[in-house]
Amino acid sequence: MRIEVLNTGSELLLGTTMNTHGGWFGQELFKLGLRVQRQTTVPDGDAIREALAECVGRADVVLVTGGLGPTSDDITREATAAVLGAELIEDEAAMRSLEAYFALRGYEMSPDNRKQAQVPVGADVLPNPNGTAPGIYVPPRLNGAANCAVFLLPGPPRELYPMFHAEVMPRLKALSGGETAEEVLELKFAGLGESAIHHGVDALLAEIPNLEVGYCARTSEVDVRLIGNAEAIAKGREIVLAAFGDRCFSEDGSSLEEVVVGCFSERGLKLAIAESCTGGLIASRVTDVPGSSTVLTYGFVSYANEAKRDLLGVSWDDLQRVGAVSETVAKQMAEGALKASGADVAVSVTGIAGPGGGTEEKPVGTVFLALAIKGGVTQVRRERYVRDRLAFKLTVSQTALEMVLRAGERLRRG
């Protein structure tokens, strides 16, 4: 089954918005054993019709994103109707859903929004609980010209992703028939590079018949994807975990913060976080997880030295003597957070995110992480992560959460 992705939007080609859809679709489709054969980006306007006609002529399925809004440059609906030779009509259910969307939020619906309820005759309307633009599915064989299924989907990820999972994936499974019989296992690893994992296991995995292996490197995380029948996957899993099992944190697609919250809430453990260089990112990641309020109680963003002293009881003398980015201060921050919060585990980070602030002894990218455990001995790690400011923050948060997870697991054992 040949699948193409067509992303529309001038902002994607001007570079003012990063086009993350191509890769995202690739990852999602891969879980179904499907591949994207081509991805095309075109600006708003006539180029959409031209490119869609080409895609429809080549592919079995075309996934189109963007251009479903209420404004004058949103013309994907019209372009699709023209290419498929279908008439656009106002869909009653889509109209009711639009009205309900505005009513729930207490906004008045603009007359421009009416065009968002227009769909090609015979198409399915795909509900959008997170925005005004409903998606549209035009099944194959609806028109003489093309034997191609076309999905029109909203551009913003928070509207696109849920709609894709709820509405597109089941239809793709049905369209692809037997193609999706394979299973998928995704193992996630923290603190390892892609080439280390690849080098360590790729040759062994290549010997397993009918096993497809994919690696996905993220910031301070590598995901290994195994695709094949149950037997091949079990063999592959054994090889990967034998080599790197101690760094694996998830086998079911859960994120590191989800695993941490699951581990802590299962055991009734409380977590406190004292952040300097990550500036609240670790706490924010933990609180992205529903139910985290039973786990995270106190978070301290002690950016200034005064905050480290006042909130966490770090010694002013030590701050002056060894500096905020030091083993001593990291230790006192974690212990201070543990004491102030009454939590079971506290983690602290203090480092130099850059671009300024580095010294010869402590260059940009230097960070100290400390882990304090109730009744235990505080551990401190020194790391150096040379990367831009945002990637630095994300990497430090990843290391901190991995330390927290291993502490939580030990507390079960103990």
| Binders of its own copies in range 97-136 (CB under 8 A) | 104-105, 107, 110-113, 130, 132
- Residue 302 token pair: 């002690």
Amino acid at 124: D
Closer residue to its own copies, CB minimum distance, 122 or 253: 253
- 75-82 long-range contacts, CB within 8 A, separation 24+: 75/44, 75/45, 75/48, 76/8, 76/48, 76/152, 77/115, 77/118, 77/119, 77/120, 77/136, 77/152, 79/48, 79/49, 79/52, 80/52, 80/120, 80/136, 80/138, 80/150, 80/152, 81/120, 82/49
User: Could you say which residues in the range 316-335 bind its own copies, by CB under 8 A?
Assistant: none
Per CB under 8 A, the list member of 148, 149, 233, 286 interacting with its own copies is: 286
Closer residue to its own copies, CB minimum distance, 142 or 319: 319
Closer residue to its own copies, CB minimum distance, 20 or 122: 20
Closer residue to its own copies, CB minimum distance, 162 or 376: 162
- Residue 174 token pair: 């049905």
Amino acid at 101: Y
Q: How far apart are CA 255 and CA 259, in angstroms?
A: 6
Q: Is the peptide bond before 157 cis (omega within 30 degrees of 0)?
A: no
Per CB under 8 A, the list member of 255, 303, 339, 409 interacting with its own copies is: 303
Site string for its own copies, 168-207 (x = CB under 8 A): ----------------x-x------xxxx-xx--x---x-
Q: How far apart are CA 412 and CA 414, in angstroms?
A: 6
Residue 221 found at the interface with its own copies (CB under 8 A):
no
- Residue 288 token pair: 């992205």
* Segment contacting its own copies by CB under 8 A, of 79-87, 120-128, 169-177, 216-224: 216-224
Closer residue to its own copies, CB minimum distance, 25 or 151: 25
Per CB under 8 A, the list member of 1, 8, 12, 56 interacting with its own copies is: 12
φ/ψ (deg, to 5) at 274? -120, 110
Closer residue to its own copies, CB minimum distance, 101 or 137: 101
* Segment contacting its own copies by CB under 8 A, of 19-27, 75-83, 140-148, 260-268: 19-27
Q: How far apart are CA 153 and CA 169, in angstroms?
A: 13
Closer residue to its own copies, CB minimum distance, 50 or 87: 50
379-384 sheet: strands from edge to edge: 271-275, 345-351, 366-373, 379-384
User: Could you say which residues in the range 266-285 bind its own copies, by CB under 8 A?
Assistant: 273, 275, 277-284
Q: Residue 297: how many CB atoms within 10 A of its CB?
A: 13
Closer residue to its own copies, CB minimum distance, 8 or 143: 8
Per CB under 8 A, the list member of 243, 380, 391, 411 interacting with its own copies is: 391
* Conformation bin of residue 191: beta by default, left when phi > 0, alpha when psi is -120 to 50: left
Residue 162 found at the interface with its own copies (CB under 8 A):
yes
Q: How far apart are CA 50 and CA 53, in angstroms?
A: 5
Task: Please state the separation of Cα 60 from the chain's center in Å.
Answer: 28
Residue 291 found at the interface with its own copies (CB under 8 A):
yes
Residue 260 found at the interface with its own copies (CB under 8 A):
no
Q: Minimum distance from CB of 107 to its own copies (Å)? A: 7
Q: Minimum distance from CB of 283 to its own copies (Å)? A: 3
Residue 202, SS3? helix
Number of residues that bind its own copies (CB under 8 A): 116
User: Could you say which residues in the range 73-102 bind its own copies, by CB under 8 A?
Assistant: 73
Whole-number CA gyration radius for the chain? 26
Closer residue to its own copies, CB minimum distance, 356 or 375: 356
Q: Minimum distance from CB of 117 to its own copies (Å)? A: 14
Closer residue to its own copies, CB minimum distance, 98 or 142: 98
Closer residue to its own copies, CB minimum distance, 62 or 123: 62
Q: How far apart are CA 210 and CA 196, in angstroms?
A: 23
| Torsion angle, alpha carbons of 96, 102, 108, 111, to 10 | -50
Q: Minimum distance from CB of 198 to its own copies (Å)? A: 4
Site string for its own copies, 348-387 (x = CB under 8 A): -----xxxxx--------------------------x-xx
User: Could you say which residues in the range 24-43 bind its own copies, by CB under 8 A?
Assistant: 24-28, 30, 35-43
